Amino acid sequence: MTQRRSRRGRRFTALATTAVLMIGALVAPSAATAAPGGPATTADDDEPRLPQFAFSGRIIDKDEMIFNPTDEFIFPSVFHAGEHLTDPLGEWYLYYAPHDPPGGIALMYADSLDGPWTEHAENPLIANEWPPHYDRVSHVSSPDAVWDDAAGEVLLYFHGENSTTRWASSDDGVTFDDSGVAVTNADGGPGTTETSYARVFAHPDPGSAYRWGMFYMQNRTDDIRRIKMAESVDGRSWDVRPDPVVVPDAETGRNVSGGNLFRWQGQDYITYHGSSGVTYARTVDPTVTEVGPQRVLHRASGIGDDVGRVAAPEIVTDGEDTYLFYESGDRLGATIAYATRVEPSPPDPDPLREQCSGAASDEFGGSTLDERWEVVNPDVARHAVADGALTVPTYGSGVAGAAFPVQQVPEGPWEVTTQVDVDPRERFQQAGLILHTSGDTYAKLDYGYGTNGLRFSYIWRQAGSERNSSIDTPPVPAGTGTTVWLRLTSDGTDVLARASVDGQEFVPVGRAVPLAELAPTGLGVSALRGATAAPEIEATFDWFRWTPTAAESAACDAPGDAWDATAVYVGGDVVAYDDATWEALWWSSGDEPGASLHGPWAEQGAATGCGVAWTASAVHGAGDVVVHDGHRWAAAWWTRGQEPGSSLWGPWQDEGACV
């Protein structure tokens, strides 16, 4: 039956209202994906809020391009031609280029940032050979255009080779008649091997002697790419600062690039992308010497064409509308896409399906798995059900040789979520959700340890052929612990993966898997380490929950039967009494709900826009979160009847004001 539950143990508290599985569509999204691709991290109270964007479409159809030497395009630069030029081809110019040789700086134009965009018939504007300015180079790429008001002309920056960032000037933004060198490897200091992917902007410091600033990508002999800053008076001769502005970390992966300056609501940011395929933002002061913490700005939703990397961000505001143009897709097969700013959606009121879950959900409350489950490879099974959890060892084999429990895959749309506690420390140790067809055909969403450290991974293997790239194995955020939450969502056609490190916000992992092609027969949990020397560890699954269907959700929302003084109730029974909903904590008969704070009845908190309201009679365990007096409060230990904020030494820790 549909499950309604109270808050216990380590689980996070959520609103009583449930997300509904909509027939013919994806289930209601969680907080991080309410607007697909929006920021996946919530700003601290003292951090300004970043804009949230939703994918609007691809700008370039590769099959229709006249100039298409390598079937890939990168690094969009949007220039407001109508503001600066006389009789331009369109109100807006979009410069872009192929990544691979021979490259070539190309142009599209439009009268609206929403398009349609028209390809300039005589692309490329700048080729990889341009005497007398430079002899033949292998390629030219990464254009970035600005208007030089003092000179009354367009300055366009690009690289060619990777060791040299160049400038070119034009009166009309189409015909470029002069060029020179802006920055080279020599300017970056000893060990510099690449100086490319530059963005130029008006210097944000009004007190600076420089008119222009530049962020560019520097590679060194250690093959780690950083973002550096250069400054210029005239936009042609540049001075490079000695220290990088942004260096990669565990979250971004080995490289960061595409640095850009963006002003939002009076605050300057440096935006950039990482090897993770995600675009980030950090606050910077006008001198660009104080750089704030890294926050996710935008990532692909994994839905439809919105897959792969979000790189080389270019944010443009026109009137009340703000747009994000970016490089979309695989690194060597990218195209140009854009997203539009949207208003943030309210958070998922029940992100962990605690208040209501589907009929096949399992809290692992017994000592064995019940009839809902079938075990693949049962002869080698060593899992155990005890203490409200399912424990699975990381088997020393691949999927073909491991044992794991699965349930039937439902017809139509569905969504399943699990909480797993595992501590992978060596390569190939992993645990998570699995869609199983056979030993060589499956899809797995795991939390594990890879070549470059802790990763989420969403791997699809079809008849022994595996889809597995950096897009599908993003690094986890810094500070991720041993407990994570994993989710698979299907609209009946594709299966998307998402993961959470806090039990509140779920972010996409990897690319969609086509359900019909995979044709899975089971959906469950698994733990592996492969045939490797990695030691066996255990993965503990606290629960396995299906998001309720519309009918199941309606059943959860319906109030319980009216309390009856003559009836006998047991733990878990729900009744309606005195305009409130009450849950029995233990056997009860004749005990009036609310008559005693320490009696058998716990009042279920009302839903608010911030979470579930605290009630005096409810029982809370360490980690539970409630709302009281406009703040969110987290329980540090078991508590009942102690009001949040009533004591500095009490069980409740203030998590901050609701926003």
> Regarding predicted confidence, which is higher, 562 or 141?
141
Strands (E), 389-439: 389-393, 404-407, 414-421, 430-438
pLDDT band at 659 (very low <50, low <70, confident <90, very high): low
pLDDT band at 46 (very low <50, low <70, confident <90, very high): low
> Regarding predicted confidence, which is higher, 657 or 194?
194
Q: Which of 124-133, 190-199, 496-505, 561-570 has the lowest mean pLDDT?
A: 561-570
Which of 208, 218, 195, 188 shows the shortest CA–CA distance to 285?
A: 208
Spatial separation of the C-alpha atoms in residues 590 and 624, rounded to whole Å: 30
Report CA 438 to chain centroid distance, whole Å.
30
Tell me: pLDDT of 6 over 80. Answer: no
Residues 6+ apart with CB under 8 A from 558: none
Beta bridge partners of 77: 95
> Regarding predicted confidence, which is higher, 196 or 658?
196
Pairing relationship of beta strands 561-562 and 574-577 according to DSSP bridges: parallel
578 contacts 560 by C-beta, under 8 angstroms: no
> Regarding predicted confidence, which is higher, 43 or 134?
134
pLDDT in tens, 48-59: 789 999 999 999
Q: Which of 8-22, 452-466, 555-569 has the lowest mean pLDDT?
A: 8-22
Q: Going edge to edge, which strands form the sheet with 335-342? A: 52-58, 335-342, 321-329, 309-318
pLDDT in tens, 8-25: 222 222 222 223 333 233
Spatial separation of the C-alpha atoms in residues 155 and 148, rounded to whole Å: 6
- What's the angle, vertex CA 345, arms to CA 342 and CA 350, rounded to 5? 160
pLDDT band at 243 (very low <50, low <70, confident <90, very high): very high
Spatial separation of the C-alpha atoms in residues 626 and 608, rounded to whole Å: 10
464 contacts 385 by C-beta, under 8 angstroms: no
Residues 6+ apart with CB under 8 A from 63: none
Ordered domains of the chain (ranges, CATH):
58-342 (2.115.10.20), 349-549 (2.60.120.200), 554-657 (2.10.10.90)
pLDDT at 609: 64
Exposure on the CB side of residue 461, measured as CA atoms within 13 A: 17
Give the pLDDT mean for 223-236.
97
Give the pLDDT mean for 204-231.
97
Spatial separation of the C-alpha atoms in residues 642 and 624, rounded to whole Å: 14
Answer positive or negative: Cα dihedral of 120, 122, 126, 127: positive
302 contacts 508 by C-beta, under 8 angstroms: yes
Tell me: pLDDT of 68 over 60. Answer: yes
Spatial separation of the C-alpha atoms in residues 436 and 148, rounded to whole Å: 59
Which of 280, 334, 471 shows the shortest CA–CA distance to 59?
A: 334
Amino acid letter for position 116: P
Tell me: pLDDT of 352 over 60. Answer: yes
In which residue are the tokens 């992978």 written? 424
80 contacts 323 by C-beta, under 8 angstroms: no
Q: Going edge to edge, which strands form the sheet with 164-170? A: 141-148, 153-159, 164-170, 176-184
The average confidence (pLDDT) of the chain is 89
Which of 191, 200, 198 shows the shortest CA–CA distance to 224?
A: 191
pLDDT at 5: 39
Is 400 in a helix, a strand, or coil? helix
Tell me: pLDDT of 538 over 60. Answer: yes
Tell me: pLDDT of 187 over 50. Answer: yes
Is 84 in a helix, a strand, or coil? helix
10 contacts 473 by C-beta, under 8 angstroms: no
612: tokens are: 């579930």
406 contacts 488 by C-beta, under 8 angstroms: no
Tell me: pLDDT of 2 over 80. Answer: no
Beta bridge partners of 135: none
Spatial separation of the C-alpha atoms in residues 451 and 443, rounded to whole Å: 20
Residues in the chain: 659
The dihedral region occupied by 115, where left means phi > 0, alpha psi between -120 and 50, and beta the remainder, is left
What percent of the chain is predicted at pLDDT more than 90? Answer: 75
Q: Which contacts qualify for 512-518: CB closer than 8 Å, 24 or more apart? A: 512/302, 512/303, 512/307, 513/435, 513/443, 513/458, 513/460, 515/490, 517/462, 518/435, 518/437, 518/441, 518/442, 518/443, 518/460, 518/462
Tell me: pLDDT of 41 over 50. Answer: no
pLDDT at 562: 87
What is the SS3 assignment for 293-326? Answer: CCEEEECCCCECCECCEEEEEEEEEECCEEEEEE
Spatial separation of the C-alpha atoms in residues 212 and 136, rounded to whole Å: 29
Report CA 560 to chain centroid distance, whole Å.
38
> Regarding predicted confidence, which is higher, 157 or 7?
157
Neighbours of 606 (CB within 10 A): 15
pLDDT at 518: 97
pLDDT in tens, 135-184: 999 999 999 999 999 999 999 999 999 999 999 999 999 999 999 999 99
What percent of the chain is predicted at pLDDT more than 70? Answer: 92
372: tokens are: 């809902």
244: tokens are: 């990088």
In which residue are the tokens 């439809």 written? 304
pLDDT at 22: 32
pLDDT band at 33 (very low <50, low <70, confident <90, very high): very low
Residues 6+ apart with CB under 8 A from 630: 610, 657, 658
298 contacts 313 by C-beta, under 8 angstroms: yes
Provide the whole-model pTM.
Answer: 0.73
pLDDT at 17: 27
Spatial separation of the C-alpha atoms in residues 182 and 158, rounded to whole Å: 9
Tell me: pLDDT of 97 over 70. Answer: yes
pLDDT in tens, 390-444: 999 999 999 999 999 999 999 899 999 999 999 999 999 999 999 999 999 999 9
pLDDT at 527: 97
Tell me: pLDDT of 331 over 80. Answer: no
Give the pLDDT mean for 179-207.
97
Tell me: pLDDT of 656 over 70. Answer: yes
pLDDT at 604: 86
Tell me: pLDDT of 610 over 90. Answer: no
